[in-house]
Amino acid sequence: MKGKSRAVGIIGTGSYTPPRVLTNFDLEKMVDTSDEWIRTRTGIVERRIAEPDVPTSRLALLSAQQALESAQVEAGQLDLIIVATVTPDMFFPCTASLLQHELGAGYAAGFDMLVGCTGFVYGCAVAREMIGVGRYEHALIIGAETLSKIADWEDRNTCVLFGDAAGAAILGPVEDGRGILTYSLGNDGTNADALKIPAGGSLMPTSEETVAKRLHYLTMNGPEVFKFAVRAMAQSSLEVVERAGLSMSDVDLVIPHQANLRIIDAAAKRLNLPYERFVRNLESYGNTSAASIPLALDEEVRGGRIKSGDHVLLSSFGAGLSWGSMLVRW
Ligand code: ACO
């Protein structure tokens, strides 16, 4: 990254998961699957599901309040709110606008980021630049999803994978040499069809036919995404570490997108890093898309596992197909 920019870091985190637990055994009663299949193919044991009347903004709000408290920043001090989500309350207005009002965040600028599971890393990268140049002081970045609302509960290929959650981070100026050191973002639209909701947009507006054909649910080419994920996470992780003038062995903790334990395993192997350095919480939450990295980050921060000076690598992939890695010195 070129040009003079002040250091920007994560100065507070928060998260929220809905109380309702859906286990693999519950899913056995809903579709033709088994606890054994789900555990061995994905590593997931249970996930949290929001009640039908609870929108994404509710989860986002609760995680944001926690993050503000941990950063000791008042909502009124926020200049910018970015919500990464593929499950906004509605097409528009954006979820960030709803949150600005609910949090009482002055007239903070805000927008949603629709980059699938990679959205949180994208959001942090954008906020880092805006704070880095001195335009803003404090930004709230949230990854929040209610994927249960777009999962096809009749499709065993996908519905067993997802869960609902929100994670939030406050970004602000930090002392030189700390904070977000560098990032790598990318996108390869040649495989855009591998992960999508086919209908409901301008390409295929909602009709009786699209509803009858179940085209408003998430569809996925699992094996295609799997191959892409391992490659993209490994490449972009190496890139950020090199850009920061470090080597992989300097990385104290990797927080990968929580989609599948086998993906995390394969990435660890490619990066030649001990498996223990990779955070895993998908056993309890499944894949929570944009919420997965900030949720895991918040758990690690609160659990005291991230110490001052640690190098923490966030690495994600998702719809697009997109990828994003970011190296932080805590
Ligand atoms: N229970 C039992 N059997 C199942 C289930 C299930 N829940 N789901 C699929 N199967 C069957 C399939 O029908 C298939 O049967 P067949 O061989 O008779 O056709 C068999 O299991 C194997 O299916 P595969 O798709 O080859 O299984 P694979 O080992 O690739 O695992 C998985 C599938 C878990 C989806 C894996 O490919 C994966 O994790 N991919 C990446 C997914 C991902 O990261 N997505 C990101 C989403 S981000 C977002 O959505 C916002």
For 90, the domain range is 8-177
- pLDDT above 70 covers what percent of the chain? 99
66-124, pLDDT tens digit by residue? Answer: 999 999 999 999 999 999 999 999 999 999 999 999 999 999 999 999 999 999 999 99
Query: Which CATH number characterizes residue 258's domain?
Result: 3.40.47.10
What is the arithmetic mean of pLDDT over 23-41? Answer: 97
**Ligand 1 within 6 A of CB of 196:** no
Q: Is 216 in the pocket of ligand 1 (CB under 6 A)?
A: no
Is 2 domain-assigned?
no
Per the document, the length of the chain is 330
The number of CA neighbours under 13 Å toward the Cβ of 57 is 20
For 268-301, what is each residue's pLDDT tens digit? 999 999 999 999 999 999 999 999 999 999 999 9
Active site residue 117: yes
Outline where the chain has alpha helix (H): 24-28, 35-42, 56-71, 95-103, 119-132, 156-159, 208-212, 222-243, 261-271, 282-285, 292-302
Q: Is 289 in the pocket of ligand 1 (CB under 6 A)?
A: yes
- Among candidate residues 24, 94, 117, 124, the one labeled active-site is 117
Cα 195–chain centre separation:
16
Report pLDDT for 4: 75
Looking at ligand 1, which atom is closest to the CA of residue 218?
50
CA 184, CA 43: separation in Å to the nearest integer? 27
Q: Which of 124, 159, 260, 287 is catalytic?
A: 287
Q: What is the mean pLDDT of the chain?
A: 96
Same domain, 96 and 52: yes
Which of 177, 209, 236 terminates a domain? The answer is: 177
Whether ligand 1 lies within 6 angstroms of the CB of 226 is answered as: yes
Query: What's the 223 CA to ligand 1 centre distance in angstroms?
Result: 7
Query: Quick one: 123 and 254 in the same domain?
Result: no
Backbone angles phi and psi of 155, in degrees to 5: -110, 105
Encode pLDDT of 209-252 as tens digits: 999 999 999 999 999 999 999 999 999 999 999 999 999 999 99
Token code pair at residue 251 = 């990385």
- Same domain? For 126 and 184 the reply is no
List, as one string, the DSSP characters of 4-63.
Answer: ----EEEEEEEEE--S-EEEHHHHHTTSS--HHHHHHHH---EEE---TT--HHHHHHHH
CA of 33 from ligand 1 middle (Å) equals: 11
Distance from the CA of 300 to the center of ligand 1, in angstroms?
29
